[in-house]
Structure 1
C-alpha cells in the first residue's frame, strides 16, 4: 500500500506542538530549495504512489522523477524549530502550507534549505491534527421539486451509452469543490456508499475527514455525474468510483477568496494523483480575490501563470483527464474563462440551454495566447441536481455542465480503457456538433455519444448528405470499409487516410462508384489514436474522424 497519508499530511509533527495560534499568524506557502537526501527513491515508487498512479504514468510515457518525491522530512522538522507550523506538503511545488508569524518566516528565509515564501491567506484555520469523521450513511428518500435529468442525459447521447453497459464503472473520479453537504444523507447516492465507491475524502480547508458539510455546490456537481435515483436523476457516469475533496473555503457563507484556495486545489490534485484517480472534475475557477494584490489579469490566461493552472497542467502530464467549468463570467466585466480553464490539456466546458443556444453567462475564449476555449458545452440551464435539503431540483451554471461531460468521459473511458487522457479529450471534441468549426463561444460544441457508434443521423461517419458510411468505428483491425449509401451518379471517389501523427498511410481511387458498393481500405499503420479519412468526389470534400484502439 502506498504511503499517501504520510507524504501529504504531516499532521503527526503538528500534533506534537499543540495548538493555539497567535493572533498575528497567517497562512503561507514555504518553498524549499531541493529534495536532497530524501529517504525516498524514484526506483521505489510504491513507497509514495499507488500502483494505479504508476500504471497511469507508464501509459502516457511519463517518467517518475524527483518532482514525484515527497518533501524532505528534515526540512519540515526545521520549520518547526523556527516556530513555523507545517500542515500539508506539495511534492510538485516542493513546498509546505504553513501557519506562521511573518517575523519567523523572515528569519527562516535566511536558511539555505528555504527558497522563498508566499502569503496566501489571513489568519489561521487548520486543525492541528486531522479531524476524523465516521460516515453514518442514511438513505433518506428525496422529494422531487423538478427534474430535467432526461434532457441533460439525452443531449449527450448518454442514455445510449448506458444502454450499452458503459456507466463509468471502474473509472475513478476526484471531485474538487466547496463541500458535499448531505450527500451522506440521501438515497440518491445509495449506490456509492453501499457498493464501496467512495474511495477517499479530505477537507483541505480545515484539515478534516468530514466533507459532507459547509455547502451543497459540490453535492449539486456530484449528482450530475454520479447520482442514481430511479428515473428522476441519473448521472452521466453513475457507476464511477469517487473521491471527494473540499478545496474551496465557503465558511461563514463567504464568497471571498484568497490564493490559498488555488493551493488547496494543488494539494487535492496531488492526493488524487497519488491514490490513482483517472479524472479530476472541478467546477471551480479563479481570477480575482478579496486581496486585490492576488488578482490575475486577462493576460495571465495562458495556461501557465496561475497557481491552479500550473497544478492542472501537472495533473494532466501525469495522465489524469482534468475536466473543469469555463466560468460564469460571460455577461460580466471579466467575460473570459477563469483559471484553470485556460490550460490546453484541460477539457473546458461551457453551458448551453436545452434548445442548444449558448447561455449568456457562459465564459468565452480565447486564451491570452490565442487558443480556442471552451472546448465543448453541455446543458447549463435548468440542470437537474440534488440539493442539501434532500430535494431534486434545478440549477444553472457551467458548474453543472462540466460534471455532465466528466461523467460522459468516464463512460467512454470505460469502453476504451486503452486511450490516454489526451486521446480521450480529442475523441470527446471530435463528437461535438461544432467540431468542424470550433469557436470561442461553444468550442467544438455539444458532444453526443451516438456519433461515436454510428447510431444517429447526426453521425460524423455519414458524409456527403449521408452518401457514405465508414465502418467499423472505432476499429482495431487492418482495414476499414466505406459503404456507398445512395445513388451517386457513378462519380469517382478519392480516399486518403492519415495517421494520428499526420502521416499519409493509405490511398485509394475508385472509379464510378454506385449505391451498394463497399470499398475496403487497407490500414498498414498500427498506431493507436485518431485517424482522419479524407473523401473527395468532384467538388465535395469531407474529413471523417476514426478512432483506433
Structure 2
C-alpha cells in the first residue's frame, strides 16, 4: 500500500440503523427493578458487569440475548425489533425513560481521491521547485493574517510542531488514554516495552488490527519516535494506551459496541477517550440525547470523551456538512481538521446545527504520519480521525501537568490554551489545540 493512501469505508449506501434500540434508564433505577420490568415485557436483559471478566460471554450478550444493560451509564441496548414490545417497556415501566434507534458507526478519514491528488501535486511541486498550491474551483477565500507553515523535519513531523509539543517536556506519563477504533497492531516496534491494555468488542475478531486505522490513531495519540529515523510523531509518548476494538476490520461498528468500549475504558480508569469514528447526520438534526447524557456522566466520573467531527464536507465544491454523531453531542469534545498551513481541511465538517453539533477545537488532520499495520508499519493519512488523537494526546499532557483537574476543567484548559486561527468558529471552534507550556500554573 502506498504510504500516501487514505483508507475510507465506501460511503455509497451505508446502512444507518441496526434495528436495535438504545434505551435511557431512569436515574437510580436498580438492576433488580430493571430486570423485573423487562421480564414483564418478555425481555431478558443482561447486566454488563456480569461479563466484565469474560470477553466471550460479554459478546454473546449482544448476539444471543434480548439486550444488555450498561450499568455505569444507565443505558440499555435492546435487541428486540418489535415496536409494541419496546413501547410497552419504555412507556409503561418506571425504570425506562426514552429510546433511540441504534446506529452504525464508521472509521472516519478524508476521501482517498482528494488526498492522492493533493499529495501528487505537492510531490511535483517539490521536484520542480514550485511553491504555490494548485488553483481551486470557486471563489477565493477572504485574506487572513499569515500563520506559520508547519513542516516535517528530522526532529518531528509537522503535526507536533503545530501543537508546540516540542516546547515542553510533557509526555502524558502516568495518564491512561483509551483509543476506541479498529484495534491495534500490537507487535509494532515503536510500541515495544509500552504499557498497552486491550479488549475486543467485535464478535469473532481479536484486537489485532488488520485495517490500520486504529493503529494509525493510536500512534498519533501516544506513539513515540519513528524507528530508524528517530523523528517524533506521537503527542503523548509515555501515556498508558488502552485499546478497545469497537470497529471491525472493515471499519464498521455500532452504538452497542461503542458503549461497551466506553464503559470498559471508564472502568479501567482512563481519563481520556479518543474516538475517530462517527455517522453522518443531516442539517437540523438533533444530537443523541442518550450519548450526551452518558458523556456527561463520564465527565462526572473523571473521563473526557473526544470525537472526530467528520469528513463529509467538500469545501472546494462549496459543500459543508454538519458534525457527525456522536461528536455533535454538547458533552463530547468535537474536533475539526487543519492542514499544515492552518487552513481548514477540505473534508472537515462544520458546526451547522444550532442545537448542538458545534466544532469545539481543531487539530492537525492532513497528511499525518503515524504507525500502521504489518508489513508497512507507517502511513500518511488525512481526516478528522487524525486530528482527534492529537487533541487526546494533548489532553494527556495536560493531565500530567495538572493531575488533580476534573474532566470539565480539562475541557476548559484545552480551549483556553488553543491557538486562535483566523477562520470561522463554525469550522475550527476555538482554534488549534496547543500543548501545555511549562510556565502554566494550576487555576
Q: 1:506 corresponds to which residue?
A: none
Structural mapping, 1:325-404, within 5 Å = 325-331=308-314, 335-369=321-355, 373-388=358-373, 389-404=375-390
Q: Which has the larger radius of gyration?
A: 1
CA deviation digits over 1:468-516, x for unaligned, max 9?
Answer: xxxxx42xxxxxxxxxxxxxxxxxxxxxxxxxxxxxxxxxxxxxxxxxx
In structure 2, runs of 5+ residues without a counterpart are 1-17, 46-62, 105-151
Judge conservation of contact 1:300–1:306 (CA < 8 Å) in 2: no
Q: Does 1:151 align with 2:158?
A: yes
CA deviation digits over 1:514-536, x for unaligned, max 9?
Answer: xxxxxxxxxxxxxxxxxxxxxxx
Q: 2:261 corresponds to which residue?
A: 268
Secondary structure at 1:218's aligned position in 2?
A: helix
Deviation at 1:206, TM superposition (A): 1.0
Structure 2 length normalisation: TM-score?
Answer: 0.67
Q: 1:28 corresponds to which residue?
A: 20
Cα distance in 2 for residues equivalent to 1:409 and 1:364: 22
User: Structure 1 residues 367, 191: CA separation in 2 closer, same or farther (over 3 Å shift)?
Assistant: farther
Cα distance in 1 for residues equivalent to 2:77 and 2:438: 47
Deviation at 1:336, TM superposition (A): 1.7
Q: 1:49 corresponds to which residue?
A: none
User: Structure 1 residues 327, 72: CA separation in 2 closer, same or farther (over 3 Å shift)?
Assistant: same
Of 273, 281, 305, which aligns to 2:274? 281
User: Structure 1 residues 238, 299: CA separation in 2 closer, same or farther (over 3 Å shift)?
Assistant: same
Q: Does 1:66 align with 2:66?
A: no
Deviation at 1:151, TM superposition (A): 1.5
Cα distance in 1 for residues equivalent to 2:306 and 2:99: 30
Structural mapping, 1:138-537, within 5 Å = 149-161=156-168, 164=169, 166-180=170-184, 183-192=185-194, 197-199=195-197, 201-206=198-203, 210-229=206-225, 230=227, 231-250=230-249, 253=250, 261-287=254-280, 296-301=281-286, 303=287, 305=288, 307-331=290-314, 335-369=321-355, 373-388=358-373, 389-434=375-420, 439-449=425-435, 452-453=437-438, 473-474=440-441
Secondary structure at 1:188's aligned position in 2?
A: helix
Judge conservation of contact 1:308–1:339 (CA < 8 Å) in 2: no
Structure 1 length normalisation: TM-score?
Answer: 0.55
User: Structure 1 residues 345, 427: CA separation in 2 closer, same or farther (over 3 Å shift)?
Assistant: same
Cα distance in 1 for residues equivalent to 2:362 and 2:333: 10
Secondary structure at 1:155's aligned position in 2?
A: helix
User: Structure 1 residues 153, 75: CA separation in 2 closer, same or farther (over 3 Å shift)?
Assistant: same
Secondary structure at 2:311's aligned position in 1?
A: coil
User: Structure 1 residues 236, 103: CA separation in 2 closer, same or farther (over 3 Å shift)?
Assistant: closer
In structure 1, runs of 5+ residues without a counterpart are 1-25, 35-64, 123-146, 288-295, 455-472, 475-546
User: Structure 1 residues 67, 404: CA separation in 2 closer, same or farther (over 3 Å shift)?
Assistant: farther
Cα distance in 2 for residues equivalent to 1:444 and 1:349: 10
CA deviation digits over 1:122-167, x for unaligned, max 9?
Answer: 9xxxxxxxxxxxxxxxxxxxxxxxx774321121111223xx3x21
Cα distance in 1 for residues equivalent to 2:434 and 2:231: 21
User: Structure 1 residues 95, 394: CA separation in 2 closer, same or farther (over 3 Å shift)?
Assistant: same
Deviation at 1:248, TM superposition (A): 2.6
Cα distance in 2 for residues equivalent to 1:32 and 1:160: 44
Q: Which has the higher strand share?
A: 1
Judge conservation of contact 2:212–2:372 (CA < 8 Å) in 1: yes
More RCO (CA 8 Å, sep 6+): 2
User: Structure 1 residues 112, 322: CA separation in 2 closer, same or farther (over 3 Å shift)?
Assistant: closer
User: Structure 1 residues 370, 310: CA separation in 2 closer, same or farther (over 3 Å shift)?
Assistant: closer
